[in-house]
Amino acid sequence: MSLFAELTNSVNAVRPGRTTMRNYDLPMVVAATILVAMGMLMVYSASIALVDGPRYANFGRYYFVIRQGIFVAAGMFVATFVLTVPVTSWQKISFWLFGISALLLLIVLIPGVGRRVNNAVRWLPLGPVNFQPSELMKLAALLFAADYTIRKQDHMDSFIRGFLPMAFAMAIVAALLLKEPDLGALMVVVAIAMGILFLGGINARIFSGLAAVLLVTFSMVIWFSPFRRERLFAYLDPWNPDNALTSAYQLSHSLMAIGRGQWLGVGLGSSVEKLHYLPEAHTDFIMAVIGEELGFAGVMLMILLFAVVVQRCFEIGRQAIAMERVFGGLLAQGVGIWFGVQAFINIGVCLGLLPTKGLTLPLVSYGGSGIVMNLWALAMVVRVDYESRMLMRGGRA
């Protein structure tokens, strides 16, 4: 065999190994796709009976699932655009995006502007849809915290220069979110900011002090708010007749739904609790419907899928940081914290592990702002991973 033939065979033998690496993280994309598809299915199942009640009598049976499909399509459109934007561009506009988000949180509180639902003002009416600024704030706080950590890297041991500016920014956000009120969104935003500061190397004493202060602050917010205090006491004793018919009504019916599901569920579409017994079955308590219809197996599947998404976000972030792309790494890990904390709170509430708190399940629950922001965030993680893979191939990010 000639030398040219040997070299040709050698190149052909090596080439497949060089080109088999994908441009994206397959486990994360598959897990997220299944979660979105499960969300569509369960939103349809949980909402199809709502038209039988007076509140949604003028809505069609497919109203919510059609709108959810439109929201998912809009989220995919946004995600496609986000995939074309270099990660460094998000770092450049992080401060301005944070400012715009804070301004929207302020605008929603203006009398006559924000839409009030169940004694909360959290939505801006935009024609046929309602936009929830707190969902955008989760994304904006993530980008702002990642950029802040990088800019203040040399001062992370300083209380005044490294911690106070971030604390001041978060205090403004906290005041606006508590005014709505939206304690659940505030908890997620604070968890994202604290998580990124911790990963960025903030001084351990400052971080411990911050955690203690936040614990005391949240405890005071709950204690001095009558309806939150009632929810806490109801959570401790949900089967008390006085609680089961008032503050623990949602929790008690959520537990009954999950209890009926047992190991494999009562069957898709066969939930009883969604028939006007369990409020917000297609949003905050969609996991209860999953537990009733798909049983323990369905709940564990959802937890496993979220675990895959969170683990891959952290791994993508770790790889980016190892390649000295710190902002992208913190961004990816921040999305992992966001999804992990919010899913933990939502599932914990439905299972009776945590007091009732109005938080949706990422990628699954019905809602326009939430699903669009979730897909936007995941697209940024995919972009971080893509740029890392391009660098590993010897190219440019």
Q: Are strands 115-117 and 129-131 parallel, antiparallel or unpaired?
A: unpaired
Residue 10: what pLDDT?
Answer: 44
Question: Kind and range of the H or E element at 121?
Answer: strand 120-126
The CA distance from 263 to 394, in Å, is: 50
Q: What's the gap between Cα 251 and its chain centre? A: 21
Establish how many alpha carbons lie within 13 A of residue 287's alpha carbon, considering only the half-sphere containing its beta carbon: 27
Six-digit token string for 190? 């604070």
Nearest by Cα to 156 from 186, 190, 196, 189: 196
Residue 156 pLDDT: 80
The CA distance from 31 to 339, in Å, is 13
**pLDDT at residue number 20:** 67
CA–CA separation, 57 vs 203, rounded Å?
A: 56
| pLDDT one digit per residue (tens) for the chain, 397 residues | 454 454 345 444 444 445 567 888 999 999 999 999 999 999 999 999 898 888 888 888 899 999 999 999 999 999 999 999 999 999 999 999 999 999 999 999 998 888 887 778 989 998 888 999 999 999 999 999 999 999 988 888 887 888 888 889 999 999 999 999 898 999 999 999 999 999 988 888 888 888 888 888 888 888 888 878 888 888 888 888 888 888 889 999 999 999 999 999 999 999 999 998 999 899 999 999 999 999 999 999 999 999 999 999 999 999 999 999 999 999 999 999 999 999 999 999 999 999 888 899 999 999 999 999 999 999 999 999 999 999 988 766 6
pLDDT for position 4: 44
pLDDT for position 397: 61
Alpha helices in the chain (DSSP H): 3-19, 26-47, 63-82, 87-107, 133-151, 164-179, 183-199, 204-223, 226-236, 241-244, 249-261, 286-322, 326-350, 368-392
pLDDT at 73: 97
- Residue for token pair 């297609």: 282
CA angle 295, 297, 298 (to 5 degrees): 70
Q: How far is CA 168 from CA 22, 165, 175, 195, 274, in A?
A: 42, 5, 11, 17, 43
Say which residue the tokens 């675990």 belong to.
307
Q: Which residues of 19-46 are buried (b: 16+ CB within 10 A; e: fewer)?
A: eeeeeebeebbebbebbbebbbbbbbbb
Provide the pLDDT for residue 57: 81
Q: How many Cα atoms occupy the beta-carbon half-sphere of 247 within 13 Å?
A: 19
Confidence (pLDDT) at 9: 54
